[in-house]
């Protein structure tokens, strides 16, 4: 009850003040970009764990219903912020994956790329690491919504078609395993891995062989138009 009262008071306060802090967006695209910037500032200031709809809405000067006009959750906003820029880590990942011919190669090289680049990306690093790894960080990475998006991304990276229920289930399981391996590599460094060649050899066994068994050589050069709907 107390929480509900706080939410109502917050929304009423926003309604009394000028929306968007007196500078309304020119378009829906502009509104989403403004919310992206709030995410980036908030993560830099206090990490991912402090993000919630009320805090984000308060900072940009909107009500909670207005927030939900653009995004259905904080996780959806974070994902949008991560993938919005053409030069984002995820966009560069897609381009890198297209250089390789088979799903196994694309998966291995994509994990190596993310292993190298995530620590450099402030938002991705905050999602994976937090200030110190906490349960809520793990929950965010492995939430149903995150896994659904990651599965769609992996289908694109691998360049495979989701032709039937069995292949969709295989893809979901592979996505979960790839995320777990990446999480482990990032949060618990393996000092036996001296360089990327060592990591590549390891990932060929962990990821490459299972993907080759499940998906063969794929169905095309790239997965640009093959991600599951």
| 54-77 tens-digit pLDDT | 999 999 999 999 999 999 988 889
- Percent of the chain predicted with pLDDT > 70: 79
Stated pTM of the model: 0.75
Q: Are residues 101 and 163 in the same domain?
A: yes
Token pair of 126 as six digits: 């905050």
**Last residue of one domain, picked from the residues 80, 100, 124:** 80
107 pLDDT exceeds 60?
Answer: yes
| Domain boundaries, position 22 | 2-80
Q: Are residues 38 and 151 in the same domain?
A: no
80 pLDDT exceeds 80?
Answer: yes
Residue in the structure block whose two tokens are 């691998």 = 158
Q: Are residues 102 and 208 in the same domain?
A: yes
Q: Are 31 and 71 in contact (CB under 8 A)?
A: no
Q: Which residue has the higher pLDDT, 206 or 43?
A: 206
Q: Are residues 97 and 69 in the same domain?
A: no
Q: Which residue has the higher pLDDT, 132 or 228?
A: 132
In a domain, residue 226? The reply is no
5 pLDDT exceeds 70?
Answer: no
For residues 206 and 123, give the distance between their C-alpha atoms in angstroms, rounded to a whole number.
27
């Amino acid at each position: 009850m107390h929480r509900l009262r706080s939410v109502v008071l917050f929304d009423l306060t926003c309604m009394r003040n000028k929306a968007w802090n007196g500078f309304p967006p020119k378009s829906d695209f502009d509104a989403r970009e403004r919310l992206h910037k709030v995410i980036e500032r908030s993560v830099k200031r206090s990490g991912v764990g402090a993000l919630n709809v009320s805090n984000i809405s308060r900072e940009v000067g909107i009500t909670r219903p207005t927030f939900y006009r653009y995004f259905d959750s904080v996780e959806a906003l974070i994902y949008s912020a991560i993938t919005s820029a053409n030069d984002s880590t995820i966009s560069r990942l897609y381009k890198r994956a297209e250089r390789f011919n088979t799903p196994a190669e694309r998966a291995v090289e994509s994990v190596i790329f993310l292993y190298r680049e995530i620590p450099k990306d402030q938002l991705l690093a905050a999602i994976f690491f937090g200030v110190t790894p906490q349960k809520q960080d793990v929950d965010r990475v492995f939430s149903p919504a995150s896994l659904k998006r990651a599965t769609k991304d992996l289908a694109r990276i691998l360049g495979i078609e989701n032709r039937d229920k069995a292949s969709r289930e295989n893809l979901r399981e592979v996505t979960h395993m790839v995320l777990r391996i990446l999480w482990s590599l990032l949060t618990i460094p393996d000092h036996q891995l001296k360089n990327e060649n060592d990591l590549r050899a390891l990932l060929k066994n962990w990821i490459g062989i299972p993907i080759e068994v499940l998906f063969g050589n794929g169905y095309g050069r790239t997965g640009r138009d093959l991600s599951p709907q």
